Amino acid sequence: MLRRLLTVIAVSLIPVLVQASELAGSSKKSIEPADRGLSRIETPRDSRKRIALVVGNSQYASSPLKNPVNDARAMAATLRRLGFEVDEQINLGYMPFNEAIEAFGNKLKPGGIGLFYYAGHGMQVQGANYLIPVDATIRTENEVRYKAIDAGLILAKMESAKSDVNIVVLDACRDNPFARSFRSASKGLAQIDAPTGTIIAYATSPGKTASDGKGKNGAYTEALIQAMESPDLKVEEVFKRVRKLVLDKTNSIQVPWESSSLVGDFRFIRTASSASSSQQSAQAINQPSPPSKEAEDLDELIARAKAEERAKREDLERITADLAKYEKIVTSSKGSELRQVAWKALSQKYPEANRVPQYDITAFLAQKGLYLEVGRVVTAEQKKRIEAERTAKIAQEQEEARKKELLANQTMVRTGNYHVQGKNPNGSSYSGSVVISKNGDTYFLVWKISSSTYSGSGTLADKTLTVEWGDSSPVIYHLENDGRLVGTWAKGTALETLTPLQ
């Protein structure tokens, strides 16, 4: 079971920052940052330009949804009040969806704030996340990449723009509407890599699905809008508040999730006090700190670093041992009876387990910034090293196999059709074809030169093929590395080259 969990969490903690996109089927590509009748919230904000794309897809032919359009419109209105320039898109087909993403990417600028919000159907296929256009008709799993929008496209646009902060919100963890057509359809969305300076937020934890909701808005978007309009909350704190609100509203059934590689701070609403505090912090960062007493004592610093490393190592060993005990219990003959008891014991020892769905080891480790690799708990840095070593080993094995195959091809005459080009003893040229077959160690050749047919047979020694063909002297070929046979006949006075046909 632990090994199976590896694949579930393989990318779970690589920092990712993703933004919510607005729903739109209208041809209108850009909307000014103010709705009629809605006043903008005036606060001391930083000067960075705020750009958002909001997409809401509801009108699917096979499995329509009620809330995405409502959610997208509510999100778009909120973002405008918060000073974003918003492109609101509703019920997008494949081509309009791509065009909206392209326009969004062109608006993003270095040093700005980019936000993409999407509500609608989404699915994961082979570890990649896809957002489903309303006109998609997907019959098999291998059609998804050609008929749906790869979420990685949005991340690529953000990375290329070099924005300071990128936020991607995917309220797209609803059931796969085409699951019956797929052999192995995974539920929910997968965690995906994101560039530095990005946060990606999911309506529920990876691999889980979220309800479309019974009210006008989904539980996640309703909570997100409420948290975004709370003053002085950093964006990470916004999503923490969202998680608490959604857990309370859904009786802990739906657990929102984020992965973050944010470097700088961002607040949707900043008051004067927080702006002043941020300026002071920035000034403090730029001011060189006086050397401390601790920094002057190199031996003490080294000792402290060693102690921290030892504590981390012991913590990993302890968690690995505890999970091994847990796994042994749940896989025993009475595992079904003791599973709840074992999880409760784990939760009492590690408070992080209380903040994730029951029995979800992957999510529990993610809370601590850890992974499972080959039955042991590792840090993100260790995981990267293990994956690099694994990749290097696979590449080495593939290279060795390629060399082995190449060597085998270089020491074996190919059977099949060849083109013949040669010169007779008198210097005249000729051409034709040869068919080479093999039986045991013997090769059989049949030449067709003009209207004449010749036949012969021979064996390969090292890379020399000697063929008796009824003449007083044999044809002696040398096998080249590219598969050609280059030889002589008539005691070396005539030349012949056989080139294999593809």
Record the tokens describing residue 138, joined without a space.
Answer: 């997907």
Record the tokens describing residue 332, joined without a space.
Answer: 């025993």
Confidence of residue 95 (pLDDT cuts 50, 70, 90): very high
Answer whether residue 68 shows pLDDT above 70.
yes
Share of the chain above pLDDT 90, in %: 38
Note the pLDDT of residue 118. 96
Higher-confidence residue of 332 and 34: namely 332
Record the tokens describing residue 244, joined without a space.
Answer: 């608490």
Residues 58 and 21 sit within 8 Å (Cβ to Cβ)? no
> For the segment 264-297, what is each residue's pLDDT rounded down to a tens digit?
889 998 775 555 555 554 444 445 545 544 444 6
Give the residue-averaged pLDDT of 365-384: 80
The C-alpha atoms of residue 468 and residue 466 are separated, in whole angstroms, by 7
Average per-residue pLDDT for the chain:
79
| Domains of the chain listed by start with CATH number | 14-281 (3.40.50.1460), 293-368 (no CATH), 416-500 (2.40.128.120)
Q: Contacts for 472-476 with beta carbons within 8 Å, 24 or more apart?
A: none
Phi, psi of 479 (to 5 degrees): -80, 115
User: Can you give the pTM of this predicted structure?
Assistant: 0.49
The C-alpha atoms of residue 134 and residue 65 are separated, in whole angstroms, by 10
Q: How big is the chain by its Cα radius of gyration, in Å?
A: 33
3-class DSSP state for residue 223?
helix
- Ramachandran quadrant class, 26 (left: phi over 0; alpha: psi -120 to 50; beta: rest): beta
> For the segment 417-442, what is each residue's pLDDT rounded down to a tens digit?
999 999 999 999 999 999 999 999 89
Note the pLDDT of residue 52. 97
Give the distance, in angstroms, between the CA of residue 136 and the centroid of all CA atoms in the same chain: 22
Record the tokens describing residue 316, joined without a space.
Answer: 């990993």
Confidence of residue 304 (pLDDT cuts 50, 70, 90): low
**How many angstroms separate the most distant Cα atoms in the chain?**
104
